[in-house]
């Protein structure tokens, strides 16, 4: 059966369905026939999303079929709109809802998803205008929102796929096989940096002092009446006078 014949048969079935009482056996039979006739629309719509992540083909088909059923139940042939123009957006919308509810590893609130769409459209528009990817600040100015909100909108698009920490890396030339092995741990020696403050420099520098130094020995510059080494100079002509 060609496309033109299938379309004509589908229109005839919709005319018949409109004259039947909903819920009757005859209405259910015609409704099922319409769904079977338009299953190719589901496969056509699902083909647009097969490149996303690692989605199962069966899941896309099931979601698209739900959209097709909704389109058949909501279509009114008396309005003069072609069924294809009404059903295809409904099927695609149901597949997108399937992505939103099941595919994303992180459940993102609907408000953030709408923000992501707005930011994406603005980014495409600005990229065409300037020839480069816009920054978060430029997106915030264009959308009249604050920069953190624009950054959140960009981050939502990265939630389509999650990586396992136990996933093996293809390039293990550095001896690191999994992602978990690349995560560093806490270094207790770094705590010393945070404790450096007033009066603690001498304590931390004590192990670095020369071994010949004693509590009774004076530093080399103790006999000098001028400023000690490292002190800010008093003036260009400042001289150091030492006792010999």
Structural domains present in the chain: 3-103 (1.10.1740.10), 110-156 (1.10.10)
Q: Give the Cβ contact number of residue 227 at 10 Å.
A: 13
211: buried, middle or exposed (CB in 10 Å: 19+, 13-18, 0-12)?
Answer: exposed
Q: How many CA atoms lie within 13 A of 119 on its CB side?
A: 27
Is it the case that residue 241 has pLDDT exceeding 50?
A: no
Q: How high is the pLDDT of residue 242?
A: 45
Q: How high is the pLDDT of residue 124?
A: 85
- Closest by CA to 16, choosing from 89, 72, 96, is 72
At 172, the pLDDT band (50, 70, 90 cuts) reads low
Q: Determine which of 16-25, 34-43, 134-143, 220-229 has the lowest per-residue pLDDT on average.
A: 220-229
Per residue in 85-94, pLDDT (tens digit) is 899 999 998 9
Per residue in 224-240, pLDDT (tens digit) is 445 555 554 544 444 44
Q: Residues of the chain with pLDDT > 70: what percent?
A: 65
């Amino acid at each position: 059966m060609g496309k033109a014949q299938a379309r004509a048969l589908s229109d005839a079935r919709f005319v018949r369905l409109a004259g039947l009482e909903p819920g009757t056996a005859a209405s259910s039979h015609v409704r099922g026939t319409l769904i079977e006739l338009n299953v190719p629309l589901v496969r056509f719509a699902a083909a647009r999303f097969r490149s996303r992540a690692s989605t199962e083909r069966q899941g896309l088909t099931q979601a698209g079929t739900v959209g097709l059923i909704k389109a058949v139940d909501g279509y009114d042939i008396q309005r003069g709109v072609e069924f294809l123009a009404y059903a295809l957006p409904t099927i695609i919308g149901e597949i997108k809802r399937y992505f939103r509810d099941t595919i994303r590893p992180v459940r993102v609130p609907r408000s953030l998803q709408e923000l992501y769409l707005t930011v994406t459209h603005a980014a495409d528009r600005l990229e065409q205008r300037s020839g480069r990817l816009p920054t978060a600040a430029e997106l915030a100015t264009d959308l009249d929102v604050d920069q953190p909100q624009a950054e959140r909108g960009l981050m939502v698009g990265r939630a389509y796929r999650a990586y396992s920490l136990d996933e093996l890396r293809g390039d293990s030339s550095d001896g690191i096989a999994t992602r978990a092995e690349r995560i560093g741990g806490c270094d207790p020696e770094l705590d010393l940096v945070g404790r450096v403050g007033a009066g603690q420099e001498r304590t931390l520098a004590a192990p670095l002092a020369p071994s010949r130094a004693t509590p009774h020995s004076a530093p080399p510059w103790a006999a000098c009446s001028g400023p000690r080494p490292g002190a800010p100079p008093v003036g260009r002509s400042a001289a150091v006078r030492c006792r010999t």
